[in-house]
Structure 1
Amino acid sequence: MVLTMIRDIAAHVGKEVKLGGWLYNKRSSGKIQFLQIRDGSGFIQGVLVKSQVSPEVWENANRLTQESSLYVRGTVRQDDRAPSGYELDVTDIEIIQVADEYPIALKEHGVEFLMDHRHLWIRSPRQQAILRIRAEIIRAIQDYLNRNGFTLVDPPILTPSSCEGTTTLFHTKYFDEDAYLTQSGQLYMEAAAMALGRVYSFGPTFRAEKSKTRRHLIEFWMIEPEMAFVDHEGNMKIQEELVSHVVQHVLNHCRQELETIGRDIAPLERVKPPFPRITYDEAVELLNKEGFEFEWGEDFGAPHETKIAESFDRPVFITHYPTEIKAFYMKPDPNRPEVVLGADLIAPEGYGEIIGGSQRIDDPQLLEQRFQEHKLPREAYQWYMDLRKYGTVPHSGFGLGLERTVAWICGLDHVRETIPFPRMLNRLYP
């Protein structure tokens, strides 16, 4: 008999099926055993009646421990009281393995214990739901970009230099040369945009920041689109369309998962364009009115972003940051060079920045000036300078942090639950 997946069980009501799975939980009322079975695609309750099966099958059920693996046969029955809407009247059990005593019992455990057992923790319903939502977010991002003329391009992970001129880089040796793990594929995406027009990368990035906040990971995934012939305003329009598409996709395809993790979806239902926009100047004024002692020229921290976001019912763009606190490649506003044509997109509900973007400098002389001001090694960036020598055009781009986006959409307390195996300041295991 061909294996059936639990997610497809509705198509087999009244029929006998065979499932392969693991025992999540078990309870008994003496002559009836209730087996909670999962197979990776979903959960279903198997009902085993002692008088209706052989002694061998009944004993096999008795032997099962949490996370034991098995094949089970039975007839699918619709039951509106069941969480999935269906149950399985079990007729046969074939044990693959009786599992050892499972470390993660069905009770509360401390975070560090769960993180030490992350390879097992991801089997739980909540963690499965989060990872499914993550997968749908990725699907929605790629769907939007692919349908809007973007080409996926893969930048290198090993690079000879920093993208943003910072010191938060992981150093390694590349034979006899120094190399670094990438902190962004953006510069390479700019080169690709000059060839293909609209491009995006999707891959891991690394920041050697000694941060322990709930928003930070050492290794995380970024989606980085770059677009030729798109200005600052056009850049923000694409960002809000993308984010809105992703949120609505999750609402349409992940209702059960959102319910499993207890996410209030009302705030998500409001995420539709256009998003509000405020300037950095206006944000500073807002913060000072709210009792923060904040000076023009400082960068916003988590408390500042949270306070700003409280004034809006959906993500908000903060535009025109001071040039001095932004990356060397961001284009200054021609009408006010002390600020850049860039924006950060701040998620509501205290989740902070999920996108940073800007129009890029396209003037060769100005970029040369920036190189000197930031003391960047010319030899490592000569190829990047070439992009302004051979057909420079106005262009823009942005980077969307996947894990922060997942944390916001899922309503999670910490980004550690947004990625299968998080890498944090003091965690490289498992």
Structure 2
Amino acid sequence: MPYVKCISGHTSARFIQRYLEKDDRALANDFVNIDVPVKGVRAGLEDFEPFDWWREMDQTRRDFGNDIPWNGQRARTWKHYILSPNPDDGIELGKLRRLAIAWAQENFNDYEVAIVYHDDNANGIPHAHVVVNNTDLATGRRLQEPDPRAVKRSVQRLARDMGLSCFEDAPHPEGAKRARGTASKQRVHVGRAEKELEDRGEYSWVGDIRARVSIARMIARNEDEFRSVLKAMGLDVKNNSARASRRDWIYSFDDRPTLRVSGEKMGLSFGKEHLSHRFASGSMGRLADATEREVFRIASEAYEVGDIAELRKLSDAVSVCEAIGAQSVDRLIAAERRLPRGLDSAKLAAAVEYMTEKELLPTGRMPAMQESRRNTRQKPWEKGQPNWMKSREANGRRQEQPSQRQQSSNRDRGNRDAR
């Protein structure tokens, strides 16, 4: 019979991944709702590239504000289940993987799940470590404590169906969650039609909207800034129908309002709920303020001249920076040793080339004092005004108001005249 043990975590998922994969002891990995580069197929199951899945989990929790303590207690950030089969079954790794994936999908199908397999016990029996992130991707709510009996009965039933030993008297739990399909709730989703157009090098209006929203969500710190940046790039944002089952934003072109797409249609990270949590929790892009201002300038100018290709290249580059958390070109280059999900060497190389050509990132670590000074400067899209308007008004004020030295000189002259 399979045995299930649960441990709660209150830290970054980085530490549990480091523990589970140290010294190359992981036999294989599987994932639910996490997109990971696939390098091949082994025993009928996918074999994945090395990947920092802890970054995905940590970012999701930050975006939804689920790292914040609750009722004075530390947030439970993840759950770690150890699934150990009966040694008498002599289970082989492929069968254990199918059992663990089925169990994770049945009980945690709305969560990010990473599964790591070991055989480092005394008898060399393969077992599974199932790490479940604390955020429900469908609702944004924290993981509630599952019924221990339900998750244990679930694995017994699945084991029985696979011909493994189990508790024969374990009834099917009425409250156990059923698997609701295998489609991943992806943070970024590219539909088949859009992908076919892009593969042929043709224009996709959904891809165009996604590129603009990607730029806006990277550099905006709140909803007002987000809407202002999108407005400067020719996009309108409205709430979806009040009759819809989920609240979401609808994005459309200012000059082509019939071309419209909901945020979650492009992936969870583009939806209203995700972005609202992101803004409310203070989670933001990892670019320095000076870089954000320059990104906005390039995006605005590209939109003004209708350079869609430039918008797309900028969007791809800042998305790479966001995925890696890079604030310098050196950090981008160093990421090649272990790329996050959805990235390959070609995308990384293109980002390095673009950010270097446009001088959007420093080549080394920015001194702390310089960074502090940059962060105090006002952004060009504040108060919803595009950069050219801010520049014009700033120039006007400089012309209308005398400098501090001139004001002091005028006061001295007035004092002399008074004498």
Q: Same fold (TM over 0.5)?
A: no
Higher relative contact order (CA 8 A, sep 6+): 2
Comparing both structures, which one devotes a greater share of its residues to helix?
2
Comparing both structures, which one devotes a greater share of its residues to strand?
1
